[in-house]
Structure 1
Amino acid sequence: MRCSSILILMLNSFCTFSQITHEFVYVVGCPEDGSTQVQYVFDDEELFYTDFDRQRGVFTGPPFVVMDQTYLAQSAHFYINAMKAKRTCKIAQAVLKAEGIKGPEETDPPESVLYPADEVQPGVENSLTCFVNHFYPPGIKVSWTKNGSPVTEGVSLSRYFPNKDQTFHQFSTLKFTPEEGDIYSCTVEHLALDRPQTRIWNVEMSHPSVGATVFCGVGLTLGLLGVAVGTFLMAKGHTKQ
């Protein structure tokens, strides 16, 4: 498992049902910025995370897993344990700082991609997603621009999520109303990058082809004219007989 100045604690347990082995992981992340993240992960899928601002555990697994998610989070003392983990993080960080201990320099730079949530239509509100993946250690900074100017309104940043290879991924979204010619950018900063990583997205509207429409209209007219002429000639020949 990776180690660095960002402390990650992982406790694994295994259970077997019908000869199928499942992995249950309790993850405590202690970033250097003083924040703490606590998650329960089952077979690489997050089941719970701690919302320290609201002082509660949040169930994020499929609805069919448990009928009363709130009761399950409380009965498992999830938030109480998370608070204990948060205090442990602070103590561990203080000890490491006092001892001058730093983790190894092993890092993984992020990969990012920028895409709209829905089909782009002029004047219709949409959202852009900046998906940042495969970075280590956790902790990125994401900034947005519109036509070269910084944008902060309508911007959100998700929690970071663990990958199977012990790297992380995270989402940032921007709500926007597309207009022809607008240019948006998402810039990611991470300690593994030599310089900020920027992805650019242009608003491009699809317009119907006038030429194709005219061509189809002319073709349809000629076809109908051909059918009418053919019918007239057949009727005329039948009359002569």
Structure 2
Amino acid sequence: MKLLPLVILVLNSFCAFSKIPHEIVYVVGCFQNCMTDVQFEFDGEKILYVDFEKHEIEYKVPGFIELTPSEVFGDMNVYKNAIKANKSCPLALAYLIIEEKSPPEANDPPENVLYPSEDVQPGVENSLICFVNNFYPPSIKVNWTKNGLPVSEGVSLSRYYPNDDQTFHQFATLKFTPREGDIYSCTVEHSALERPITKIWEPDLSYPSIGPDVFCGGGLALGFFGVAVGTFLMVKGHHGQ
């Protein structure tokens, strides 16, 4: 006989018999063999239970309590409520069995990439895109910083889009104007992450000198010219023989 989790309800704590607080606990136990156990406990000791076969309440009152149990619990509709609990147990068991067979779906942590939408030119407005991919459930939080300080202006977040593997992707965007030395970051928070993940990006505004390129281009042109002249002279000499 397998006992599924008990539904336990603490009804009250009181000081009726002494200055020390006492606790009454109402317990409903649902079993897979369609049996239901309904009982009251006083400071951890059973003081009554419901016998569904006899259709009555059985009392097990500790000796130190000098009260008539029926007088104490008479106004609590114990048996009536036990019948309701007995009828509810099959539904509760069915729900628990379904939950055991269909555990919650596993969460998938996101991955993110940070890149500019256009070629970066100094002083020309651009957009940074934080592409967040392969996450489930579809709920993320994205925070931006510039030089270590939070940024909220020029920020937008697209709707989430489904992937073929039942995960999702989303785009976060930050409008910015490239300046030398600026550093930007995109931080993503998600329920599947133990800690947020952060990507950092800074504009590369250094351009190489054109001298070597011109020199290489000129040298290459002269080389082709020399090969052409040499070939022309060889052909001319061959025909002149």
TM-score, normalisation: structure 1 = 0.46
* TM-score normalised by structure 2 residue count: 0.46
